[in-house]
Amino acid sequence: MPIYEYEPVRPEQACPECRGRFEVIQSLDEAPLTACPGCGRPVRKIVSWCRAAMSQPAEEDRRVESRVRDYEQAGQFSHAAELADKHSEKTGDKTLKSRAMDNYKKAGYDLD
């Protein structure tokens, strides 16, 4: 059964159950929730959030990763570092971040 994500319409009034985002497993023919099961306050379904989050960045990640590798192979470590650093800030990718740090060092930056 699919998992749907909901968020409170008014986050400042949300109870612990619906604060931020919460997931509900529902069958396809079940009507979407309009109220939090905990506090009864209005909630809304987050539409196509999953698809947007999964397909596009993955594509972009691969592109960035291959450009970083190109720079590394060409010995352009500061370029590789900046690109990896900028992209890791955006995505929160820790592996890419530490790769950026390595490349900064190889480029001769003093990080301390």
Instruction: Please give the residue ranges that form the binding site for Zn ion (CB under 5 A).
Output: 15, 17-18, 36, 38-39
**Interatomic CA distance for residues 3 and 24, integer angstroms:** 6
CB of 36 to Zn ion, least distance (A): 3
Question: 6 vs 104, which CB is nearer to Zn ion?
Answer: 6
Question: 38 vs 57, which CB is nearer to Zn ion?
Answer: 38
* R_g over Cα of the chain: 21
**Interatomic CA distance for residues 18 and 8, integer angstroms:** 6
Question: 19 vs 67, which CB is nearer to Zn ion?
Answer: 19
